[in-house]
Structure 1
């Protein structure tokens, strides 16, 4: 059906009746009137241009985020007390976005880890004892690691946080993996410090998955991150809570002694965030982590924090530590080239991401931004930067520890050689310890997920379903919250349409045009527009926006020569007389997940862009003289169904919505470890939306579409979700529409088929509510 069309004077042909007047919207050169001709090269380059433009936009936004963050800060430097009060709201927000939201259990004592074959005292010297301990953190969540208790007067109490791939024993020299000069935990013990060294969840993939279904190559940190992110928690938050629970115990032991945290690599991240969140911490040492953070999207996904860079870089987090002591050590950082290689039958589904030693220039540049706050508070000495080996030396250098001790006001006598350490524990199963810590978080998230429905009920308690009018009015704040806090709101499109079209398809009933529109500077929208040939002068037809799924393109939706799950249903709709528009959305383009990684730290998402593209497209379509601007339907399959659940709640111009092959109990779909198609076990790592589970599910999304007609299309053999999940969630939609007195405006059609367009009941639904005559 590809066309090479040449036309002569269209007005002449119309005047003689050779071409019906209803076709006068088409130009003689094979494009729509009021648009420019789109070249073949433009059609072919539309998809890469779209992805490149969006990525470039967010790249620019990441660069300018440093300056833009200041709008979120209102610092008062009059006094330290005034300053701490002025940044209280920022401290609250960093707790929220890192998932430090659960109430900690009181930590009055440490639990000695011992058994019939293992003693809690695992090592000793003439200066201190080393114990294996655990401590209560949250309900059924513990911290575990080492407690080091000096024999003499305690100088300070310090939580020493290792990198994720280091064990507490390694930092104490009980295992040979760490060079002796990097054993800064042991050096702190030699100085007379009481220490707790917690175990962090590591980067191995040993337990990531369900052995009864499938195992994956996700690092343990990513596996926890995925589930936690969906319900407003984070692996960062869990480990900060473990550090703060240790601080609780320190304060119960000796309230007057200085308390500090010191961390390396991933432990440096946890130390930095812990001190920013808890003002009881007097001093902080961050080694091998602190740097400019605008490239965070290249780091492992378990460092992805929703909206982080909108308000916080490392310097801003450091400013929450001021006026307390902060020592930043530029040193060698952990080297992580990517997730574990998928071995055996493990699914290769982990998100890409790498870590490398922060460049000295980056450390110093970010430190200079942080120093300004300490200077303005009149305490420049409280912010110290130490360079170990030109930024590539070992962590915990002598200079860094001296700065920490000096800043805490602790006497720092030169220590003799290490006291000889005697190991008392052998044959310890460190893998079992890691598994137990990992499974504690899995089980805690089980409970959080199970309670998420109660959290949603609380959140929605002000939505009034006693009438359509009340529902529309009382759900306005929810719609706004969903857009701004869950999806991420971008400004409305700023560019003029600058429409370009090209006639590319033709049948006896309709013509198909590729369309290209400008949205924001450098960002375009595009798709295929089908225009029936029998539109009469002055007639206006309804439009169906027919949306493709993951990795999809508009062509299979309208071209009968392409076999697909869409069955070219767009062409069927056009044959029925509908104007059809099939957008090219970014998730149909290679490397689109990069967009999500770049956007999330800016409090934006893939759908932030898609909503703007649809907004601009609808505006353009509505001004076409043959379009009925009051009647737009949205019909999406699969990932297009996700779009059907996320775009119409925000854009009011869609008057009928059909979700096909996607509607289900979304929280179970994203967090289950018992369902083979769960997003916990597949490669769509971009799918997770922060705190979605506590705020909204698909029934509530349908509630934001109400009172407009809403339909679900569901194949019994569709592996996206079980029928029972779909029916369970849809029952709540049906109940809402019934309460509103509009139960005729919603329906679900089950059909005996797979993940595909059925197009029977849905066509009837469109005919009923789009008023096609």
Structure 2
């Protein structure tokens, strides 16, 4: 049996596919495609295997980002400054915090012979505040203070033992207060589902992620604002301590801020290689590229790090079938924790220190007088609203932020313009889409004839190798009237969400495609309909989170697939390699904005039933069109709000022709947001570059579908081809 580049025998067994020799009709100069079964499903499984292997390899690849100097604690701190800064950036810490003299004391809620408990509020950034409890010792202690962060499903009052029914060993703030420390306890966002079936944490994460921020970063900022205050008081020893989600936040705060002398991480520390299995609000773009928990801990040491030996993590399960990303949090195996600690020791072998593994102590449970407790629900609503409003403010600021980001574009001439957008294409590829460094394999084309019941065209299924374990699949449709030696233009026709190449040729009843792959072939174009990887629901959506973990996206796979497809198409004797166009509907329109900027083989791009004010579409919590409320939990892309909306993506396509096809009754967005975003594109092409004839928008009286009128004329014009009229 021939050995194929993209699939080894082990994966074949896993996927349950067999290669069966059979006699088939195939495209000349290609091998026979003999696979049986659902090739689209096979593609998703192969992508999954590929990404899991990339995640596995990430541990060994991280060392290139680190240059630790162990000659002294001071030189060590300096040697990892860049890593600390990178970590702060990927968790969305960007806002400048507001200095304050002391928290606002709102009410006294409890008191005993050792401490008093007050409700407090303190500024963090913008109009965002933190709220919680301040526990002050009766006998002043100016040497030690601690910020204790509860799990997301606990309140400050519960971990102080003044409300709820937490067992004593979980009342961690109470234990430290009984030891005479000043204790500050911020409330954090809970996991309840107030917005349809989306947890509060995921709801805020969605908008923030699109805008280059993160709920984790916001809440770390609330902790660091407390550290700012303690520092002004001259506190000699500042500690942060947390359990569960609070453990994560304490851990990250300790890694970022060297003013924190001791970090206690309970119910969190473990291997992070399966972070993609965790809830969406744990998703950090590019985390595993540089950081596992051992690497994060290496930014805390040689300061004191405590990982209690007897603390289980919270158990959270988010099932499939809700609006949220499926996910789970489970207590890690003891061996997994120990392995990560051992990895930490290896990373910091040049330092003299040791992780503290003390057991959790119980507070004494001193009798406490409780007064009027704060309204925890009202407080939580305020905290939610403040962060949501901050996200919405960032959304309005995005236009100006992106304008500043794109300010190096030079439109004095087409030559100057094309030169000036090259760095932006690189940034888009590496920082937004994500780029694998692998070299494309030889295509090793395999084909077989496909009966489409049409005497005017001939169709073939095509499989091409891309990377090891990654292939491209699609349907090639060739007009039967091509003469010997003639070279025709190609239109790559891209399906939408849950679609298939068969959807676009008329073999499946997806009327909104109007069989545009076949129709264009009947008009005389060679067409190719690729299988993109947004199919099979949770199966493909989880690929996005596996990709995000290593600073990649779904398009990190689809871009090289299309590069290989267009390379191969251009090698065919009947194809004019300089006239290969992209035309995509819906998620295919989303592809039309992201793939052609990075695949120069595409000479033009048509975005159908998708173009709009994309950042608003993702980040708005006011608009009913927004993905903030919908089940497409994979759709959010890191920091588009500060970099590339659709007008900026179109800039990366320019000066190549670009067109938008828009149905008035398309539920993706209202006409006005489509027109608003397209006006920026029109201004670039017409006013600045003086190539207004290269861009068009067609509004038509119809729904979310191919219209196939103005776009077909656009193809004829810019591919310089006189297509045949069809009924």
Q: TM-score range by the shorter chain?
A: over 0.9
- Tell me the TM-score normalised to structure 2 length: 0.94
- Paired residues for 1:240-255 under 5 Å: 240-253=220-233, 255=234
Counterpart position of 2:9: none
- Paired residues for 1:494-643 under 5 Å: 494-506=440-452, 507-559=454-506, 562-590=509-537, 591-643=539-591
1:60 aligns with one of 45, 53, 66? 53
Counterpart position of 1:198: 186
Asked if structure 2 preserves the Cα contact closer than 8 Å seen for 1:47 and 1:589, the reply is: no
Asked if structure 1 preserves the Cα contact closer than 8 Å seen for 2:440 and 2:560, the reply is: no
| Distance in 1 separating the partners of 2:536 and 2:568 | 23
Counterpart position of 2:243: 264
Is residue 2:63 matched to residue 1:70?
A: yes
Is residue 2:153 matched to residue 1:159?
A: no
SS in 2 for 1:630: strand
Asked if structure 2 preserves the Cα contact closer than 8 Å seen for 1:467 and 1:741, the reply is: no
**1:466-502 CA deviation, whole Å, 9 max, x = no partner?**
2111110001000100110000011254322121111
* 1:323/1:310 CA distance change after superposition, 3 Å: same
Asked if structure 2 preserves the Cα contact closer than 8 Å seen for 1:562 and 1:568, the reply is: no
**1:363-391 CA deviation, whole Å, 9 max, x = no partner?**
111111112344412x223x2234x5xxx
| Distance in 1 separating the partners of 2:523 and 2:483 | 15
CA deviation after TM superposition for structure 1 residue 674, in Å: 2.4
- Point out the more displaced range, 571-580 or 152-161: 152-161
| Distance in 2 separating the partners of 1:492 and 1:249 | 48
| Distance in 2 separating the partners of 1:756 and 1:468 | 34
- Tell me the TM-score normalised to structure 1 length: 0.88
Counterpart position of 1:130: 117
* 1:464/1:162 CA distance change after superposition, 3 Å: same
* 1:218/1:615 CA distance change after superposition, 3 Å: same
CA deviation after TM superposition for structure 1 residue 28, in Å: 9.3
Is residue 2:262 matched to residue 1:283?
A: yes
| Distance in 1 separating the partners of 2:361 and 2:463 | 58
**1:645-674 CA deviation, whole Å, 9 max, x = no partner?**
000001101011100000000111111122
Counterpart position of 1:477: 423
Counterpart position of 1:31: 26
- Paired residues for 1:653-664 under 5 Å: 653-664=601-612
Asked if structure 2 preserves the Cα contact closer than 8 Å seen for 1:135 and 1:144, the reply is: yes
CA deviation after TM superposition for structure 1 residue 267, in Å: 0.3
| Distance in 2 separating the partners of 1:79 and 1:204 | 46
| Distance in 2 separating the partners of 1:708 and 1:657 | 8
* 1:594/1:447 CA distance change after superposition, 3 Å: same
* 1:605/1:756 CA distance change after superposition, 3 Å: same
2:342 aligns with one of 355, 368, 387? 368
Is residue 2:373 matched to residue 1:433?
A: no
Asked if structure 1 preserves the Cα contact closer than 8 Å seen for 2:120 and 2:133, the reply is: yes
| Distance in 1 separating the partners of 2:188 and 2:565 | 48
Asked if structure 1 preserves the Cα contact closer than 8 Å seen for 2:498 and 2:536, the reply is: yes
* 1:131/1:463 CA distance change after superposition, 3 Å: same
SS in 2 for 1:557: helix
Hey, which bits of structure 1, 4+ residues long, moved more than 4 A? none
Is residue 2:305 matched to residue 1:356?
A: no
Counterpart position of 2:253: 274
Which structure 2 residue ranges, 5 or more long, are not aligned? 1-21, 723-727
SS in 2 for 1:580: strand
| Distance in 2 separating the partners of 1:622 and 1:569 | 21
Counterpart position of 1:421: 368
Asked if structure 1 preserves the Cα contact closer than 8 Å seen for 2:144 and 2:235, the reply is: no
| Distance in 2 separating the partners of 1:763 and 1:468 | 26
CA deviation after TM superposition for structure 1 residue 153, in Å: 3.6
Over aligned residue pairs, what C-alpha RMSD do you find?
Answer: 1.6
Counterpart position of 2:6: none
Counterpart position of 1:717: 665
Asked if structure 2 preserves the Cα contact closer than 8 Å seen for 1:560 and 1:571, the reply is: no
Asked if structure 2 preserves the Cα contact closer than 8 Å seen for 1:123 and 1:424, the reply is: yes
1:96 aligns with one of 81, 89, 99? 89
- Point out the more displaced range, 514-523 or 367-376: 367-376
Counterpart position of 1:771: 720
**1:563-585 CA deviation, whole Å, 9 max, x = no partner?**
42011011110011100000000
Counterpart position of 2:620: 672
SS in 2 for 1:174: coil
- Paired residues for 1:746-765 under 5 Å: 746-765=695-714
Counterpart position of 2:157: 169
- Point out the more displaced range, 224-233 or 146-155: 146-155
Asked if structure 1 preserves the Cα contact closer than 8 Å seen for 2:295 and 2:347, the reply is: no
SS in 1 for 2:327: coil
| Distance in 1 separating the partners of 2:535 and 2:294 | 37
Counterpart position of 2:413: 467
| Distance in 2 separating the partners of 1:757 and 1:197 | 55
1:309 aligns with one of 268, 288, 302? 288
Asked if structure 2 preserves the Cα contact closer than 8 Å seen for 1:74 and 1:86, the reply is: yes
| Distance in 1 separating the partners of 2:660 and 2:163 | 58
Asked if structure 1 preserves the Cα contact closer than 8 Å seen for 2:208 and 2:215, the reply is: yes
| Distance in 1 separating the partners of 2:621 and 2:77 | 42
Asked if structure 2 preserves the Cα contact closer than 8 Å seen for 1:182 and 1:397, the reply is: no
Counterpart position of 1:380: 353
Count of matched residue positions in the alignment of Structure 1 and Structure 2: 696
SS in 1 for 2:697: strand
- Paired residues for 1:384-399 under 5 Å: 384-386=356-358, 388=359, 396-397=360-361
Counterpart position of 2:76: 83
The structure with the largest alpha-carbon Rg is 1
Which structure 1 residue ranges, 5 or more long, are not aligned? 1-26, 114-119, 209-215, 343-347, 389-395, 399-414
**1:236-264 CA deviation, whole Å, 9 max, x = no partner?**
000000000011111122x1420010010
| Distance in 1 separating the partners of 2:333 and 2:74 | 35
CA deviation after TM superposition for structure 1 residue 73, in Å: 0.4
